[in-house]
């Protein structure tokens, strides 16, 4: 058996869909290259994503395993209770992971030779090293977010944190993040910076970021030309960095179209309502605003109605993903929250609402002209690959800093953070779709081409993936 066939990589994402999706793409790419892969989920996500296990019919070298996350079965595991999941995984899942990895490394017919763990799962890296297994960190957020996190000690020392949330405080420029002095405002820092310094979740990130620099090997879902300056600041912290993004574009360049088509249902982590594609077929070219705030975002009913009014009042056709677990579902809105007639009529005339959509297909559809997004890193990259201008409404994690980069660094969209009123939403949608569209499209066309070039043969991400695979094999 040659080294390529002996290579066995275990991928372990943090148990949230935004972290699972990119690592699943990496799993497919590694399997396509002939490596054996074990994809490790928590029991809860393993049950919720049962359709993923059928990927093994396409990739014979892919298998799925699961371990407990330590939370009760009926725990909502949403972003409002993210701390419960973080601390439970760290305390309960850690020993379970040790046992599983030890078994897969000693009793398995094909021992694990490499562990690639999520950037906020440092215990998995530590355990892999203890067992003498090659270990790498996969960072699911943006590189600009990572750099701001790496600067947390300086931000604390400079008295920049916590961000208090007062109007005069939010617009102040941030000192302590090299290369971003004239760009980064306090409101653009990742949302954990709005927590008190002794807050357990803030401390969780401080500890994880300190640990990540001990990993030495880092994998980023980004590409060199997108964040060259940021990467230059991150590089000294690691012995090796592999920029292999956008992963969705790499899948397109590496795997044949027919196979990708058959994989599309698996790459949608939730079941998508495909009726929206038929609706899009009936809409004019580049006329539709696609609206999705990701897999974990939560909005209040008040925010729901502000967005709804803004969308209807903009006069643009819109396709809106409204998750049942993201708010009180629209169908259940009653009494004082009853849907006004103008929203009923406006939506009937030019709107379409779904629980979940096949996002990459939607963004690639010729009818879609703009993307109203939460600025999660996966969505940001998917918007770039599709070349669709973005209007950003960030709430958690790296979304605040991503939206700043979208609007002010790459100039491929507009930033609407910390604002949720119908008149602003209407105005910003019209700006994205009409008044400022030409200037945004010029920048987006350039960035989208760079993404395409990086992921295709001869490009930096294509080359870096080859190098990553060779280095995984070489360590056996």
Q: Which residues are catalytic?
A: 19, 118
Q: b or e along 61-70 (b: 16 or more beta carbons within 10 Å of the residue's beta carbon)?
A: bbbbebbebb
- Output Rg (C-alpha) for the chain, integer angstroms: 22
The CA-atom distances, in angstroms, between 197 and each of 89, 155, 159, 161, 206 are 22, 11, 11, 7, 10
The CA-atom distances, in angstroms, between 273 and each of 264, 279, 311, 386 are 13, 11, 21, 20
Strand partners, 372: 291, 391
What gap in Å lies between CA 431 and CA 440, rounded to an integer? 10
What does the block give as tokens for 73? 């079965």
What gap in Å lies between CA 289 and CA 360, rounded to an integer? 14
Contacts of residue 257, defined as CB under 8 A and 6 or more positions apart, other chains included, come to: none
What does the block give as tokens for 111? 């021992």
What gap in Å lies between CA 408 and CA 188, rounded to an integer? 11
Q: b or e along 114-132 (b: 16 or more beta carbons within 10 Å of the residue's beta carbon)?
A: bbbbbbbbbbbbbbbeebe
What does the block give as tokens for 402? 């991503």
Tokens 């008190």: give the residue. 196
What gap in Å lies between CA 437 and CA 413, rounded to an integer? 9
Q: What is the DSSP string of 417-449?
A: TT---HHHHHHHHHIIIIITHHHHHHHHHHHHH
Q: In the chain, how long is the greatest CA-to-CA distance?
A: 68
What gap in Å lies between CA 125 and CA 31, rounded to an integer? 22
Report, in this order, helix, strand and coil percent for the chain, each rounded to 5. Answer: 55, 15, 35
């Amino acid at each position: 058996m040659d080294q390529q066939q002996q290579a066995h990589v275990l991928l372990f994402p943090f148990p949230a869909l935004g972290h699972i999706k990119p690592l699943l793409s990496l799993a497919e790419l590694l399997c396509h290259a002939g490596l054996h892969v074990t994809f490790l989920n928590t029991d809860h996500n393993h049950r919720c994503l049962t359709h993923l296990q059928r990927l093994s019919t396409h990739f014979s070298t892919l298998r799925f395993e699961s371990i407990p996350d330590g939370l009760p079965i009926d725990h909502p595991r949403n972003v409002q209770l993210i701390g419960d999941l973080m601390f439970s995984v760290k305390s309960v899942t850690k020993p379970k992971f040790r046992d599983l990895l030890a078994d897969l490394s000693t009793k398995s017919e094909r021992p694990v030779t490499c562990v690639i763990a999520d950037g906020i799962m440092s215990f998995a890296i530590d355990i892999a090293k203890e067992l003498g297994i090659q270990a790498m960190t996969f960072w699911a957020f943006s590189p600009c977010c990572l750099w701001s996190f790496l600067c947390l000690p300086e931000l604390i020392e400079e008295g920049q944190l916590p961000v208090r949330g007062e109007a005069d405080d939010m617009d102040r420029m941030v000192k302590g993040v090299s290369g971003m002095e004239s760009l980064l405002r306090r409101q653009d820092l990742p949302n954990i910076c709005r927590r008190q310094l002794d807050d357990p979740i803030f401390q969780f990130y401080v500890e994880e970021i300190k640990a990540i620099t001990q990993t030495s090997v880092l994998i980023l879902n980004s590409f060199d030309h997108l964040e060259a300056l940021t990467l230059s600041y991150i590089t000294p912290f690691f012995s090796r960095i592999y920029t292999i993004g956008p992963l969705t574009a790499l899948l397109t360049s590496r795997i044949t179209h027919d196979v990708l088509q058959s994989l599309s249902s698996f790459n949608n982590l939730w079941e998508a309502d495909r009726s929206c594609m038929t609706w899009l077929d009936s809409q004019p070219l580049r006329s539709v605003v696609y609206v999705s705030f990701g897999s974990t975002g939560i909005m209040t009913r008040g925010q729901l109605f502000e967005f709804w009014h803004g969308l209807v009042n903009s006069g643009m056709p819109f396709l809106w993903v409204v998750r049942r677990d993201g708010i009180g579902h629209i169908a259940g809105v009653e009494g004082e929250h009853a849907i006004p007639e103008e929203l009923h009529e406006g939506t009937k005339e030019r709107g379409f609402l779904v629980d979940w959509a096949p996002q990459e297909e939607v963004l690639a559809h010729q009818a879609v002209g703009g993307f109203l997004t939460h600025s999660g890193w996966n969505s940001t990259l998917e918007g770039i690959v599709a070349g669709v201008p973005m209007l950003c409404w960030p709430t958690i994690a790296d979304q605040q800093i991503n939206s700043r980069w979208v609007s002010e660094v790459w100039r491929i969209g507009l930033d609407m953070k910390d604002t949720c009123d119908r008149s602003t939403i209407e105005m910003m949608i019209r700006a994205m779709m009409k008044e400022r569209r030409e200037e945004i499209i010029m920048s987006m066309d350039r960035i989208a081409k760079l993404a395409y070039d990086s992921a295709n043969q001869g490009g930096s991400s294509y080359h870096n993936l080859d190098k990553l695979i060779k280095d995984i094999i070489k360590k056996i």
